[in-house]
Structure 1
Amino acid sequence: MTRPVVGIISNSHLINDEYPAHAGGTMNSEAVSMVSGAIPLLIPADPRLMSIEELLDICDGFLLTGGRPNVHPEEYGEAATEAHGAFDRARDAITLPLVRACVARGQPVMGVCRGFQEVNVAMGGTLHPEIRDLPGRMNHRMPPDGTLEEKFELRHSVRFTRGGVFHRLMGAEEVVTNTLHGQGIKTPGARIVIDGTADDGTPEAIYVRDAPGFTLSVQWHPEWNAANDPVSRVLFTAFGKALADWRACGASSQLKSA
């Protein structure tokens, strides 16, 4: 049996500030291939180029990656301000309906950083534009200077709900992660379960209640050093198992019911 295929949602990018491209971090593809055991397939985040139905047929699951642009606040009923930063409406138009379709079908989907926020917004939640401006919150943003190793170093702990999904998966009630985000969950969407938080109360781990498939998503970046970091490896391994299960059973069930 061939390996499952994971659609990795790309980000809009300009090469040399003028040539438009669809970009994806190498570490995302490496984590999917080397830890999840799947074939990474970079998906252009542009609804003009494909439909959600086509993506669901081609891919066994999806990784919603991080990205510099943020989900547009109109997607959760708020007006855009300077604090909301840059946007990528084409990516919004792909990821938000894709999340809802995956949840309904039981098709595996994992959100990372912006992807974590997309899962929340897709289910009706809202976002804070800038976490560090909230009373009592730490600065979760990526350090502006230093090497990649320094930017992705483990910086804070995440505590999971005792006996919850992440606690059982990790085999630990508390882990240490990196942190490279400005925005965060304000109100959780319908069926969104906040299963892990940072020391300052910022939501860091979620899943969709009663979803028939894998929906675990995290605010940190587990793709960094995924093969060696024990927290990242466990998460991508679980994602890989869900992908293999879908390829073996879930996809055929969808075809029979169609």
Structure 2
Amino acid sequence: MSRPVVGIIGNVHLLNDQYPVHAGGSMNSAAVASVSDCTPLLIPADPALCRVEDLLDCCDGFVLTGGRPNVHPEEYGEAPTEAHGAFDRARDAIVLPLVRACVERGQPFLGICRGFQEVNVAMGGTLYPEIRELPGRTNHRMPPDGTLEEKFALRHEVTLTEGGPFHQVFGSPKVMTNTLHGQGIKAPGARIVIDGHAPDGTPEAIYVRDAPGFTLSVQWHPEWNAKNDPVSRPLFCAFGAAVRDWAKDKRPYPLRQAG
């Protein structure tokens, strides 16, 4: 029996600083294949190349990946500034309506970093362009130097809601995570539940209230060392279980933790 298909949102990239490609981090594919036990399929996030309705038909679930460009602030009613950084309007045009469609259908998705922010914006929320400039906040950005192991090292604790869905998945109300982001949630969108915070109050874990399917999204990068990390592994296992449930008869099931 074939494994269900997880669409992994790709990012635009220049190969050798010249050749335009759609790229996806290999650790995302590895996490989906080896931990979620699904077939990873890279999606070129451009409405000139694919349609949301076609993606919903050919994929059983989605990983909304991180990426260097940010969601354009016009998507949440604000003007762009230098602090907002680079943008990818093509990805905005695919992922934001995809999130809303998945919420309505109950089709599972897992949001990661930019994907976490996309979920909030898709549901009507807003973002801070640079959270390290806010009073009392720390620097959550990727360390500029060091190996990949050092960049993705666990850097802070996330406190989760007692008895909430993340607590259920992780089996603990506190987990240690990496942190590699500049932006963060300003105002949560309609039905967005902030279920976990960093020590400085930055939202780190969200889900969509009353959504019939899996909508867990995190601000950190669980794809790093997903097979061995005690936080990443149960998250990708739970996502994989939700995708397999959807693939059986195209309807959502209650959240459950996979072994």
**Fold conserved between structures, TM > 0.5:** yes
Shift of residue 66, structure 1, vs aligned partner: 0.3
Structure 1 position 251, deviation (Å) = 5.3
Could you tell me which runs of 5 or more consecutive residues in structure 1 were left unpaired when the two chains were aligned: 253-258
**Unaligned stretches of 5+ in structure 2?**
253-259
The AA in structure 2 aligned to 1:167 is H
Runs (4+) off by over 3 Å: none
Partners of 2:21 and 2:145 lie apart in 1 by 26
CA distance in 1, matches of 2:247, 2:164: 26
Superposed, 1:28-67 pairs within 5 Å as 28-67=28-67
SS in 2 for 1:20: strand
Is residue 130–residue 184 contact of structure 2 (8 Å, CA) maintained in 1? yes
d(CA) in 2 for partners of 1:204 and 1:50? 30
Describe how 1:67-146 pairs up with structure 2 within 5 A. 67-146=67-146
Other structure's SS at 1:230 match: coil
* CA RMSD of superposed structures (Å): 1.1
**Aligned letter for 2:102?**
C
Alignment of 1:197-208 (within 5 A): 197-208=197-208
Q: How far apart in 1 are the matches of 2:242 and 2:16?
A: 39
Deviation at 1:249, TM superposition (A): 2.3
The question of 1:162 aligning with 2:162 is answered yes
For the 8 Å contact 2:106–2:251, the answer to whether it is kept is no
TM-score, reference length from structure 1? 0.97
Counting matched residue pairs gives: 253
Residue-by-residue CA offset, 1:8-60 (whole Å, 9 max, x unaligned): 00000011222110000000000000000000000001101111000000000
Other-structure match for 2:215: 215
Q: In 2, distance between residues paired with 1:27 and 1:166?
A: 22
Q: Aligned equivalents of 1:16 and 1:224: distance in 2?
A: 24
8 A contact 2:245–2:251 mirrored in 1: no
SS at match of 2:228: coil
Equivalent residue, structure 2, for 1:247: 247
